[in-house]
Structures are given as C-alpha cells and as structure tokens.
A and B are shown apart, each in its own frame.
Chain A
Amino acid sequence: MTVRALSQWLSRQLVRAALHVSPCEREEWAKAMSSEVEEIPSEREALWWSLGCLQASCHERLKSMKPTNWWPVRWAMALWIALLAVETLFSAGITLAYKLGIFTEHFPYPRNVPLLEVTPLWEPILALVSGVGFLLAIVLILKRSRVAVGAVVAPFAITLLLFAVRLSRPESGDLQALSIAYQKSHYALIWPILGLAITILICLTLWQDRQTSAAR
C-alpha cells in the first residue's frame, strides 16, 4: 500500500468515525463536513480535514450529552429532593398539628413547644406548600419534564426564604441551633453548606437540561 493510498484510506476511516460519533440531530453537519473531503486536492490536507471532522463530531456529541440522560443521575436527584420533601413536610406537619390543636394532650416534642408558640401560622403553611412542591418536583424529574427546574427552584426559594425569616427572628431558635453546632465543631456547618450546594447543583443541572435540546 502506497503512502497516498494509506492516507486516503485513513481519511475515509476518520470520516466514517465522524459520521458515527456525530449525534443524530447533527447528522446533516457531519455529512456536510465529510462531503468536503472529496473536494480537497491534497491527500495530506484531506487527512487533516477528516481529523478535524472527527474532532467537530466529538465536540457536538459531548455538547449533546446531558447528565439527566442517565437514570442513576435522575434517581439520585429525585432521592435528594425526596429527602428535602420529607424534612420540610415533617416540620411543617408537626408545627401545623400543634397550631391547629391536633395534639391536645400528648404532644410528641414538648421541648419544642416554646418555639412552636412563637412561630406564626403562615410559616408552616408556606413550608407545606414548599414540601408539596418538592414532591411534585420528584415526579417531574423522573419524567424528565422541562418544567422540573421550576418545580425544584420554587420550593427551594421558599425554603431559603423561610430560613432567612427564622434567622432574623432570634426567638425561632435557628440561629442558636447553628451557633451551638458551630461551637461544638467548626466543621458542623459543612453539612448545611454541602446540602445547599447539592440542591443548587441539581437546579443548575436541570436548568442546563432545559437549555440544551438534544435528542432523547
């Protein structure tokens, strides 16, 4: 096999690989790149062109890949949101139950009664809405809906707002709880920060998922 024949063979193989790698929605572009090879007079140049085609196809393939295409990622995100939903609904449920007088005799958390007394009624109602929003988000994430990002961001924003309101009210006890945890260990705050970071990461992933329009 001569150098020229080898070069032509390599070009063909690279073009074939580029067509194979290219995502479905970019097939036309892959064909456009590869059809140019026929018009390049020099074999050496054609070889470099084919290599570039493969590079461009890989670039497009990577761009079209979305983390949510993999089911373990979707399930992990749904699991995290489920934890947030359980936590939010539990605290909202307990507070509402106390406020509505459901536990008239044996309230299971007597130590929390002074805190619950000073909690306004709208707080658990808002937390309940947020919890229901998280539950809805789980379904939407698993169904790969485009509105999943909104369903996560809205209750997450409500949760952050409630947290900020509680921090601004010393009688809520949140600030003291954080302060005590920090005094016990300087690393204690890593966990809430990590939780916050994970939720923000999920929001960003879902937002990116919504932006890119790759074939499913």
Chain B
Amino acid sequence: MTLARKCSRQTLALLAALMEQPRTLQHGYELSKATGLKSGTLYPILIRLSDLGFLDSRWKDAERPGRPPRHVYRLTAKGLALAREQMQVVANSKSGVRPIMAGAR
C-alpha cells in the first residue's frame, strides 16, 4: 500500500495542518477545525497515514478529570518529508497551500 504521487486535496490540507506545528501533538477535533474536514473524511486519512508510517499516534490523558483519554497525532520524520515533498509539488503547480485548505472546507 503506497500513497499516490500526488495526494488528494483533503490529504494535502491535513499534511499542511500537521506541518504547521510538526512537534506538537494535535487532537482529531483540532485537526478537523484547522482543515475544515469532517470526521468521516479526516479519520480514514489519518488511519491511512498512520498505516504507512507517516503519522505518529498515541493516547494522551484528558486535561479535565472524568474525560476519556484522547488520541493525538503528529508527523513522523518520514511524514514530514512527505509533507514537504507534497507542498513542493503544490508550490510548483499554480495552487498554494492556502487554497488547498480552503478547498477542503
């Protein structure tokens, strides 16, 4: 299983959002807000990126007591390289990262 040479607009939007804060662990809801992707679109992409080793996912205790732990994500080194490569592809084409993120909304 490999990722297509050029990712979908939704995947690009997600990669862009994750690349903005590469060291920060981000929640699914946070990523949904940043990309405008609905959970039904966001999670299959997260799953695929994780399966391919582009995404580091782990459980983090909830900040407020009584809440369940949350799944958090950040790009792996391989994922960061992919994100950079994909952003370069986008930059070389006419559209930019911002239009991608707007298009995903």
**Residues on A close to B: CB < 8 A?**
26, 28-29, 31-33, 35-36, 38-40, 48-49, 51-56, 59-60, 211
Contact = CB atoms under 8 A, between A and B. Distances in A.
Given A36-B27, A39-B29, A49-B29, A59 B44 contact: yes
30 contacts: A26-B47, A28-B71, A29-B43, A31-B68, A31-B71, A32-B57, A33-B28, A33-B43, A35-B69, A35-B71, A36-B27, A36-B28, A36-B39, A36-B71, A38-B62, A39-B27, A48-B39, A51-B40, A52-B38, A52-B40, A52-B41, A53-B39, A54-B40, A55-B39, A55-B40, A56-B39, A56-B47, A59-B40, A59-B44, A211-B1
Interface string B43-85: 1101100000000010000100001111100000000000000
B39 A52 contact: yes
Interface of B: 1, 27-29, 32, 38-44, 46-47, 57, 62, 67-71
A36 B70 contact: yes
Contact of A60 (B44, B57, B68, B69): B44
A140 B58 CA distance: 38
